[in-house]
């Protein structure tokens, strides 16, 4: 149980890192074309990850069939996800993006049930549902929410990002061989960068400001290098259903960061929504505390 606490703690730390990424993306895409932002971000991350992997684990080899899965993971979890997310942030409100991204746990529950026959317990279903309800309360309490507005390209892209991440989880959760988290991250990031490279031909590179460069480095080093290593590590230890439920904490973190950094006001209804989200995450991740066996053992 002590180890489990470490994995849950790392998952929460990761959501803080990724929760702040929305602010960085907003800054950078105002200066640089969204696909080019993703390419720069993962090019830097690829160089760092590959260097660390070769220095620390030079003997580790990847099976051909697993290399193919890593390539597919790089396409869906890096190239396609961030193509959708970066454009979604550009085209629609952050509120809409947050709501649609919060559908990841629901899609994950369904995919785990259909593909891997994972048992859907009452606590998992209730927790995921509460988390999504909480997300909707938090973001819809802000102005200019227009969920699923007719013809809104940004909304569709945000939904595309959510589905891409679910596919990424399915691909990454099972490999034939045993690999270090950094090895999987390095190969997936490299493949994702290759898939994003056409942005150099389509978009016109511009010299970013110092602020944009700082934010790109944060997205590359903290969110992509450290973030993907932590995510894959937790994915293997906690499973897709549990780790994706933590994603619902990101809007709370983004909301808090906006209040502290951008001095935005926080409404009481947003606090209520945040409490509901945390309750949902708690139910999914600590359902064993409420199980019948655990209760009987305590008697």
Give the 3-state secondary structure of 107-123. HHHHHHHHHHCCCCCHH
Q: Which pLDDT band, with edges at 50, 70 and 90, does 205 fall under?
A: confident
229-238 average pLDDT score: 89
Q: Report whether pLDDT(150) > 70.
A: no
Taking the C-alpha atoms of residue 270 and residue 285, their distance in angstroms, rounded to an integer, is: 23
> In the chain, what are the domain boundaries?
2-298
Distance between CA atoms of residues 10 and 234, nearest Å: 7
Is the pLDDT confidence value at 6 over 90?
Answer: no
Percent with pLDDT over 70 in the chain: 85
For the cut 60, the answer to whether the pLDDT of residue 88 exceeds it is: yes
Check pLDDT > 70 for residue 287: no
Average confidence (pLDDT) over 288-296:
51
Kindly indicate the confidence band of residue 141, based on its pLDDT and cuts at 50, 70 and 90: low
Asked whether residue 207 carries a pLDDT value surpassing 70, the answer given is yes
> Is the pLDDT higher at 36 or at 100?
36
Can you give the pLDDT at residue 119? Answer: 78
pLDDT at 264: 62
Report the distance separating Cα 13 and Cα 27, nearest Å: 22
Q: Which one is predicted more confidently, 201 or 100? A: 201
Percent share of the chain, pLDDT over 90: 36
Most confident stretch, 41-55, 88-102, 128-142, 154-168: 41-55
Confidence at residue 291, expressed as pLDDT on a 0 to 100 scale = 55
What is the average pLDDT across 182-207? 91
Residue 259 has pLDDT above 80, yes or no: no
What pLDDT is stored for residue 164 in this prediction? 94
Asked which of 102-111, 130-139, 141-150, 262-271 is least confident by mean pLDDT, the reply is 141-150
Range scoring the smallest mean pLDDT among 97-106, 130-139, 140-149, 262-271: 140-149
Report pTM. 0.80
The answer to whether residue 258 scores a pLDDT higher than 80 is: no
Please name the residue ranges forming H helices in the chain.
Answer: 2-19, 21-29, 34-56, 64-74, 81-91, 94-101, 104-116, 122-140, 153-172, 181-196, 199-202, 210-217, 227-238, 240-245, 250-261, 268-285, 292-298
- pLDDT at position 296: 44
In sequence order, the 6+-apart residues with CB closer than 8 A to the CB of 264 are 258
Q: What is the average pLDDT score of the chain?
A: 82
């Amino acid at each position: 149980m002590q180890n489990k606490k470490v994995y849950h703690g790392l998952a929460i730390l990761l959501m803080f890192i990724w929760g702040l990424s929305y602010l960085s993306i907003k800054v950078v895409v105002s200066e640089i074309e969204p696909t080019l932002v993703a390419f720069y971000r993962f090019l830097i991350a690829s160089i760092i990850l590959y260097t660390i992997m070769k220095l620390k684990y030079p003997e580790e080899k990847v099976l051909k069939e697993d290399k193919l899965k890593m390539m597919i993971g790089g396409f869906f979890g890096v190239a396609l996800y961030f193509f959708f997310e970066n454009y979604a942030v550009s085209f629609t409100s952050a509120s809409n993006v947050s709501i649609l991204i919060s559908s990841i746990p629901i899609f994950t529950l369904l995919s785990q049930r259909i593909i891997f026959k994972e048992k859907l317990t009452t606590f998992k279903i209730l927790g995921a549902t509460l988390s999504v309800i909480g997300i909707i309360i938090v973001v819809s309490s802000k102005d200019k929410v227009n969920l699923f507005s007719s013809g809104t390209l940004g909304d569709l892209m945000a939904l595309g990002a959510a589905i891409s991440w679910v596919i990424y989880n399915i691909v990454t959760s099972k490999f034939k061989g045993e690999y270090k988290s950094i090895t999987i991250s390095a190969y997936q990031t490299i493949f994702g960068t290759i898939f994003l490279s056409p942005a150099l031909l389509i978009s016109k590179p511009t010299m970013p400001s110092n602020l944009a460069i700082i934010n790109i480095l944060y997205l590359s080093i903290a969110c992509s290098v450290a973030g993907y290593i932590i995510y894959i590590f937790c994915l293997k230890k906690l499973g897709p259903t549990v780790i994706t439920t933590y994603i619902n904490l990101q809007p709370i973190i983004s909301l808090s960061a906006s209040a502290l950094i951008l001095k935005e006001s926080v409404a009481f209804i947003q606090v209520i929504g945040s409490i509901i989200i945390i309750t949902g995450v708690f139910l999914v991740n600590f359902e064993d505390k409420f199980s019948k066996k655990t209760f009987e053992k305590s008697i």
